[in-house]
Amino acid sequence: MAAHPVDEKLPALKMATSGLQHVAAMYAGVVAPPLIVGAAVGLSGTELTFLTGACLFTAGLATFLQTLGVWKIGARLPFVNGVTFAGVAPMTAVVAATKDKSDALPIIFGAVIVAGLLGFLAAPVFCKAVRFFPPVVTGSVITLIGVSLLPVSFGWAQGPNPAGHDYGSVKYLTLAGITLVIVLLLRRFTRGFVKQIAVLIGLIAGTVIAIPFGVTDFSPVADADVVGFPTPFHFGAPQFHIAAIVSMCVVMVVSMTESTADMLALGEIVERPADEETIKAGLRADTLGSALSPLFNGFMCSAFAQNIGLVAMTRIRSRFVVAVGGGFLVLMGLCPMAASLIAVVPRPVLGGAGVVLFGSVAASGIQTLVRAGLDKDNNVLIVAVSLAVGIIPITEPEFYDAFPETARIVLDSGISTGCVVAVLLNLLFNHLGKNRDAEDVTHPMEGGKDIADSAAQPAGTH
């Protein structure tokens, strides 16, 4: 009996090239979170390279866990894992609320460890409770993730140093604009593999164009070692602060919801439907990968939905292809020189590409909301209030200044507050009470069709 395409082992060359394609499709998404958080902490170029390499390394390990599996851990599907975008805003909120910035990363790592372990224990229950996170909730949260990250790209576009005299100069904004145009043209006029890596090509082209402007700095590559290892707890032993833990637990719930949607969608694409046991095993891999990631200085890991689109497009369904991609990620993490290449990219170039990258996340959330039934008053109210509450920290950063500093770690994250509000309002309007009008009730995530349709779109939230 022939092996299912998911379990098929392809010729070595095809495995390698297809695995690289998965890495190319996700690379920009993996390196963006450490760049954002590292910049907020004020890391040097060398330390930023280390953090980026650590995230590549841990993404590879998490992908191994998901594709190859161990015991009852791992969906054993062509499922790529990497640093989730959902954690960026809460992590930067932790950084902003921490007086001594050298403590920021240890606090984040401690919160991720606890959230990961709790998520691992909750995986069997979460499979059954996912009906409380329908598209109206996940769509609101994904939209907030994109909206929360867009100001980061705008800041990058204005230059590397907010205190510099040339911050926001025409030179920097022009570089950002050129990079944005390159990415858009590639997305419009190319096909296949080139189209998939348009953001990566845009970053490379923008970096080359920035050389005559005197903006490109190659010193991170010159200073980086060819071989290195992400030393455990390089930035200090993890610290456990309750407010940060609560914030990251909210992110974990969002991440597990998205991963469930992605598994259902991927199961349909590869013609091996994801049942409850598959989802449970996949969530265990996500959460265990996240809990182990801080050991090697990485952040919370989750599924990358853009790679699901790649599986659908190429029709290469082998999980071993994705495992090979995980191997490339590990190798890149063990080669600081390779990881340092992203540190060469000027901030304005990153800003131009970030408009597409982060804007796509918000657009994906809107696509999910369209399928959520916004013709129903209940759902309109849920979306309206959760988005309004989630946008408060973006438009009015000082809104919660009167609250205790520990509470602000959660409140200053629009994603965390928006998610909590969306879940509570969905319970109030769509689950509680006996006299509900059935036509006004959001249908739970059941059967896989609706969730698969929404998850098939690139969430980028990872």
3-state secondary structure the chain: CCCCHHHCCCCHHHHHHHHHHHHHHHHHHHHHHHHHHHHHHCCCHHHHHHHHHHHHHHHHHHHHHHHCCECCECCCCCCCEEECHHHHHHHHHHHHHCCCHHHHHHHHHHHHHHHHHHHHHHHHHHHHHHHHCCHHHHHHHHHHHHHHHHHHHHHHHCCCCCCCCCCCCHHHHHHHHHHHHHHHHHHHHCCHHHHHCHHHHHHHHHHHHHCCCCCCCCHHHHHCCCCCCCCCCCCCCCCCCHHHHHHHHHHHHHHHHHHHHHHHHHHHHCCCCCCHHHHHHHHHHHHHHHHHHHHHCCCCEEECHHHHHHHHHHCCCCHHHHHHHHHHHHHHHCCHHHHHHHHHCCHHHHHHHHHHHHHHHHHHHHHHHHCCCCCCHHHHHHHHHHHHHHHHHHHCCCCCCCCCHHHHHHHCCHHHHHHHHHHHHHHHHHCCCCCCCHHHCCCCCCCCHHHHHHHCCCCCCC
* Residue 197 lies inside a defined structural domain of this protein: no
Give CA–CA dist 291/201, Å, rounded.
Answer: 33
Q: How far apart are CA 24 and CA 198, in angstroms?
A: 10
Is 204 domain-assigned? no
Other C-beta atoms lying within 10 Å of the C-beta of residue 70: 12
Q: Is the pTM of this model over 0.85?
A: no
Residue 444 lies in a domain: no
What secondary structure, in 3-state letters, does 179-204 show? HHHHHHHHHHHCCHHHHHCHHHHHHH
Rounded CA-CA distance 118/98 in Å is: 24
- Quote the pLDDT of residue 430: 85
Q: What total number of domains does the chain contain?
A: 1
| Per-residue pLDDT, 311 | 78
Rounded to whole angstroms, the Cα distance separating 54 from 339 reads 9
b/e 30-49 (16+ beta carbons within 10 angstroms → b): bbbbbbbbbbbbebebbbbb
Does residue 451 form part of some domain? no
> Are 230 and 333 a contacting pair, CB within 8 Å?
yes
Q: Is residue 100 part of a domain?
A: yes
Phi and psi at residue 83, to the nearest 5°: -65, 130
Whether 225 maps to a domain, the answer reads yes
Domain presence at residue 447: no
CB 346, CB 102: distance < 8 Å: no
Q: Letter for the amino acid at 308?
A: I
Q: Render each residue's pLDDT in the chain as its tens digit; 462 residues.
A: 667 888 888 888 888 888 887 886 677 678 888 988 998 898 887 888 889 889 999 999 999 999 998 989 998 998 888 888 778 878 988 898 888 888 999 999 999 999 999 999 999 988 776 677 788 887 887 788 778 878 878 988 998 878 888 898 999 999 999 999 998 999 899 887 677 677 778 888 998 999 998 888 787 777 777 787 888 999 999 999 988 898 899 888 878 877 887 787 788 778 887 788 888 999 999 999 999 999 999 999 888 766 776 677 667 888 999 999 999 999 888 987 776 776 678 889 888 988 887 787 788 788 888 888 888 888 999 999 999 999 998 888 889 888 876 677 677 777 778 888 988 999 998 887 654 544 544 444 444 444 444 444 444 445
In a domain, residue 439? The reply is no
Which of 259-287 are b and which e, b meaning 16 or more Cβ less than 10 Å from the residue's Cβ?
bbbbbbbbbbbbebebeeebbbbbbbbbb
C-alpha–C-alpha distance, residues 299 and 16, integer Å: 26
Q: Which domain holds residue 147?
A: 10-154+216-346+365-432
How far is Cα 246 from Cα 420, in angstroms, rounded to an integer? 11
* Structure confidence at residue 405 (pLDDT): 67
For residue 73, what are the β-bridge partners?
Answer: 70
